[in-house]
């Protein structure tokens, strides 16, 4: 039986990040935004989609072997923005400052994808933390002002100590995430 899976850095235990997330959410409480629940916040490294048991086992073995020598590193969450753009915003995100350590981790993940014969992304990795999906903006000026206040703001730092391979189960009330495997970094 296949499972819908993705590899991510868990971030929901970072108090500074959660504090800023809640501040932004409160400032925009009148808007029609479906906010990601704080306990579900994560930085996706790769979305695999529906994956069979055999492929999942192969992926787990490759990740375990390849990640065991990597050391933890710091991430800086900085800025906020929207996809695809301000004209018709759909996804509200907090940015991640690029770093050599994060780039190295992404490179290792891509090596695993190639070695395991998994689909490799056709777009370059764009680190961001999705915090909400915009349904409708009733006060666009207010939204743009709040976004401007956070556009360049350093939000918090996080020490990355582990990665999770999650299963995502789609439900009417939103997705449920279950950790299938944890990969601790040195």
Q: Is the torsion defined by CA of 32, 40, 126, 116 positive or negative?
A: negative
Q: Is the torsion defined by CA of 152, 99, 87, 139 positive or negative?
A: negative
In terms of Cα–Cα distance, which of 161, 184, 170 is closest to 40?
A: 170
In terms of Cα–Cα distance, which of 183, 186, 185 is closest to 61?
A: 183
Name the catalytic one among 46, 60, 87, 128: 128
How many helices (H) and strands (E) the chain has is answered by: 4, 9
Specify whether 128 is catalytic.
yes
Specify whether 142 is catalytic.
no
Name the catalytic one among 42, 46, 87, 164: 42
* Eight-class DSSP state of 54: H
Residues annotated catalytic, as ranges: 42, 128
């Amino acid at each position: 039986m296949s499972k819908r899976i993705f590899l991510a850095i868990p971030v929901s235990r970072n108090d500074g990040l959660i504090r800023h997330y809640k501040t932004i959410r409160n400032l925009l409480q009148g808007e029609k935004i479906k906010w990601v629940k704080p306990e579900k916040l994560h930085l996706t490294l790769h979305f695999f989609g529906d994956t069979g048991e055999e492929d999942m086992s192969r992926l787990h073995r490759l990740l375990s072997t390849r990640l065991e020598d990597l050391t933890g590193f710091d991430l800086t969450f900085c800025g906020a923005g929207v996809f695809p753009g301000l004209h018709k915003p759909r996804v509200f995100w907090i940015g991640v400052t690029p770093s050599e350590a994060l780039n190295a981790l992404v490179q290792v993940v891509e090596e695993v994808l190639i070695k395991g014969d998994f689909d490799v992304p056709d777009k370059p990795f764009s680190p961001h933390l999705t915090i909400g999906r915009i349904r409708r903006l009733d006060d666009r000026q207010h939204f743009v002002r709040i976004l401007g206040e956070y556009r360049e703001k350093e939000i918090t730092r996080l020490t990355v100590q582990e990665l999770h391979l999650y299963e995502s189960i789609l439900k009417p009330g939103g997705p449920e995430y279950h950790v299938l495997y944890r990969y601790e970094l040195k």
